[in-house]
Structure 1
Amino acid sequence: MALDDIKTRIAKAEAEAGRSAGGVHLIAVSKVQPNERVEAVLEQGHRCFGENRVQEAAGKWPEFRERFDGIELHLIGPLQTNKARQAVELCDAIHTLDRPKLAKTLARLAQERGACPDLFIQVNTGEEPQKAGVLPTDADAFVAECRALDLPVRGLMCIPPIEEEPALHFALLGKIAARNGLTGLSMGMSGDFETAIALGATHVRVGSAIFGERVTG
């Protein structure tokens, strides 16, 4: 089974890095996957999933939550401010906090609800103009701004440039997290999660290696 294989590889990477067993959270990225594939992974006992779009998550997860206990849903795609209310109601964690306007909206919603999902600040480690995330040079100030709003910032997230060595970006993210006293590192995907674990990842996002290629069209 693909899920078992990924879990075995994660355990091996943890051991090789001298890390405690079970310290890395596997987020099964279920975006654009047919419900039957998601259900098959749920049937195997996995409960931590990632979605890119709030609308897709809203159409999929309420029904699954009625049938399966203990589901943990992570939003790993860009979050529009006008979808923030729906996101905080649906998700246990949001990995793409990347701008002051969104931070203020989430803080207001947290005040209203008396609760807030765990938050990860997305850092654009490659400084790519087309990609979301705060620049590395702005990360410290943004962490401080979010903390001043009493937001539950648990860590940082990055998506390295496709053409660059991911280890450099994972190491940079780890340094920014360490100097800000953050322990959560959401980094590593199907092709590089072992490298990410070696460099301190606490959450890895794996999709196609679990579910198979995405279904589109």
Structure 2
Amino acid sequence: MAVDNMPPVISDSPSGLAIVEREVARACRDARRDRASVTLIAVSKTFDAEAIVPVIQTGQRVFGENRVQEAKAKWPSLMNDYPDLSLHLIGPLQSNKAREAVALFDAIHSLDRASLCEALAKEIVKQDKRPQLFVQLNTGEEPQKAGIAPPDADAFLANCREVYGLQIEGLMCIPPVDDPPAPHFALTAKIAARNGLKLLSMGMSADFETAIQLGATHIRVGSAIFGKR
């Protein structure tokens, strides 16, 4: 699989990916960070293989999907053709899809409840495959949104490790649409730091530069690369 922290080798074509890559590189320079410290996840949800292949051929190797079933329909053949790809699940995961998720994805960004911890722990042992795991925070404590509320994060992370034996590597957040994202990114980084987590999945097409300034290691960019859905 691809090494996530290596930036893509981008051609000179003025594609969406090339434009995003230039913006990511500039944001890293402004933040005095190494470009290799930020993994660009190209979010390919709702796009078919025909739309994805040109992005792969342009140099991108890390992709994100929201749903297990959609990913199963298009990624096995792509990964057979391009075996150095890395696939991240960035959307909600049902516990009964844990087996398929562990088999297909190299990283899961949406761990947010005990039942899912239990299901993933079982499949990780059974399949002897260890995807990177991120706990999803609900930094805005929005009732309609998945994720662990910040006051509950420390206890949940402790249970992930001590009760279920999961190796949690990072946190993920999606700020409320109408809020400035910076406070949410800063809160996520603070919780990660006090729990010894090095990975931060935060920032999308509209706010990834702010996320990079505040320590994001993984940014999830879809429309700026693939166009509007």
- TM-score normalised to structure 2 length: 0.92
Deviations 1:171-212 (A, max 9, x none): 000000000010100000000000000000000000000000
In the alignment, structure 1 residue 57 sits paired with structure 2 residue 71:
yes
Instruction: For 2:181, give the aligned amino acid.
Output: P
TM superposition shift of 1:21: 2.3
> After the TM superposition, which segments of 4 or more aligned residues of structure 1 sit over 2 Å from their partners?
none
Answer yes or no: is the 8 Å Cα contact 1:156–1:173 preserved in 2: yes
Which sections of structure 2, spanning at least 5 residues, go unmatched? 1-14
Answer yes or no: is the 8 Å Cα contact 1:117–1:152 preserved in 2: no
| 2:51 counterpart residue number | 37
TM superposition shift of 1:34: 2.7
- Of all paired residues, the percent bearing the same amino acid is 58
Equivalent of residue 172 in structure 2, options 138, 157, 163: 157
In the alignment, structure 1 residue 26 sits paired with structure 2 residue 40:
yes
Equivalent of residue 84 in structure 1, options 80, 86, 98: 98
Instruction: For 2:66, give the aligned amino acid.
Output: N
Which moves more between the two structures, 109-118 or 131-140?
Answer: 109-118
Q: CA RMSD in A?
A: 0.8
| 2:17 counterpart residue number | 3
TM superposition shift of 1:101: 0.7
- Distance, in Å, in 2 between the alignment partners of 1:142 and 1:14 is 31
**Aligned with 2:35: secondary structure?**
coil
5 Å-filtered alignment, 1:160-199, equals 160-199=175-214
Equivalent of residue 222 in structure 2, options 180, 199, 207: 207
**Aligned with 1:108: secondary structure?**
helix
- Distance, in Å, in 1 between the alignment partners of 2:118 and 2:171 is 18
- Distance, in Å, in 2 between the alignment partners of 1:21 and 1:85 is 34
- Distance, in Å, in 2 between the alignment partners of 1:105 and 1:163 is 34
- Distance, in Å, in 1 between the alignment partners of 2:65 and 2:34 is 27
Number of aligned residue pairs: give it: 214
TM superposition shift of 1:115: 2.1
| 1:123 counterpart residue number | 137
Answer yes or no: is the 8 Å Cα contact 2:172–2:201 preserved in 1: yes
TM superposition shift of 1:15: 1.0
Answer yes or no: is the 8 Å Cα contact 1:11–1:22 preserved in 2: no
TM superposition shift of 1:150: 2.2
Instruction: For 2:150, give the aligned amino acid.
Output: P
